[in-house]
Amino acid sequence: MQKKEFFTNDYNIHIVKCCASCRFNGGSISNSTPRRKCMLDNQGVYTYHLCAGWQVKPSLNNAGSAHGRVKKPAYMRFLQNNVMKFAISDIREMFEKENGSIYSF
């Protein structure tokens, strides 16, 4: 088994270098192609496999950038219970009046 290698992005998040974190992990699974294929060499995508062409996925490169924040589970339940009755902005306002911020931290 290969030793795991890691990439650290600009936000100090450690990402395992492998097919799953590669930007060339392509295509979707279908009946005719039961395994995802690498867009570089058209070979199957494997757990913890690392080739010389590995490049980090853009979405993982931005992990930890605070473009999205973790919301409280109580807010998520409140949202689910009220989403068909009110606009999202109104739901957030109602929750924050009673409970404070919708964010966990």
pLDDT digits (tens, 9 = 90+) for 10-47: 877 888 888 888 888 876 555 555 577 788 877 777 77
CB 25 within 8 A of CB 19: yes
Lowest mean pLDDT among 4-8, 34-38, 51-55: 34-38
What are the tens digits of pLDDT across the range 27-37? 655 555 557 77
Helices (H), the chain: 58-61, 73-82, 88-99
* Farthest-apart Cα atoms in the chain, separation: 55
**64 vs 35: CA distance, rounded Å:** 30
pLDDT score recorded for residue 87: 92
DSSP, collapsed to helix, strand or coil, labels residue 19 as helix
pLDDT at 37: 78
The domain ranges of the chain are 1-67, 69-105
Alpha carbon of residue 60 to chain centroid: 7
pTM for this prediction: 0.53
